[in-house]
Every structure is written in C-alpha cells, then in structure tokens.
Amino acid sequence: MLLFLFAFLLLAACQSVINPIKTEELRAINKSGIQLIDVRTPEEFAEYHIEGAKNIDVFSEDFEEQIQQLDKNEPVYVYCRSGKRSNDAAQKMQKMGFKQIYDLQGGILEWEKMMQE
C-alpha cells in the first residue's frame, strides 16, 4: 500500500500544472525571451496584443503543430480575450506534456484595463 501511494505521488508530481496568473504578475515579468502566446485569431492579434507575444490561434488547424515548436520544459504564458480560449489552449498543452503553463486571468481585456490605470 505504501509503495502504491509513493508511486501515485511521484506520478502526480510529474504532471504539468496550469497556473492562473494575474495581469500585475505578468506585467512584472521581463517579457523578452519568455514564451508568451496569444491564442486569439490573427485579426484580433493585429488589433492589439501584449508586446512580445506570438500569435497561435487555438482554433487553427495547425495549432498543435505550432505549439509543438515551443519548449515544453520552459514556462509558457497564454492569453486570449477573456480567458476561455486560453484555458482551452492550456488544457491541450497540458495533454501535450507542457510542464508549466500560466493562463492570464481575464485575458487581454484585463490587461488593457490595467494598462489604462
């Protein structure tokens, strides 16, 4: 029984985790060199995006192919308009083996609001 519990805890520790991140926390991070992914459409991205972000539309046919080009062992920060699509993207990325995924709470809407303050 103890061996089973140890194996379960070890397996759980190896799983990736989706972490919510607040706009203030993301703002405090030096965005040069981080994997910051905007999962909205290219049109939305062109309209406004966080500096340093790469656009990979979660609903594009080649989303998984494009995401596979990222480093799974480094933190990845994802955002969308309000949080639903980035959560969908984070779930897919978790299944693909990404270790640290940070999902921006409130998405670009909260980011814009913070930037206007």
State CA 78 to chain mean position distance: 3
Domain range for residue 59? 16-116
Q: Which burial class, exposed, middle or buried, applies to 24 when counting CB atoms under 10 A from its CB (0-12, 13-18, 19+)?
A: exposed
Q: Is 5 among the domain residues?
A: no
Active-site residue, 14 included: no
Q: Is 10 among the domain residues?
A: no
**What CATH number is given to the structural domain containing 23?**
3.40.250.10
Q: Is 11 among the domain residues?
A: no
Count of domains for the chain: 1
Q: Which pLDDT tens digits describe the chain residue by residue (117 residues)?
A: 544 444 444 444 455 689 999 999 999 998 788 999 999 999 999 999 999 999 999 999 999 999 999 999 999 999 999 999 999 999 999 999 999 999 999 999 999 999 998
Q: Is 6 among the domain residues?
A: no
pTM: 0.85
Catalytic residue among 37, 78, 80, 104: 80
C-beta of residue 81 within 8 angstroms of C-beta of residue 40: yes
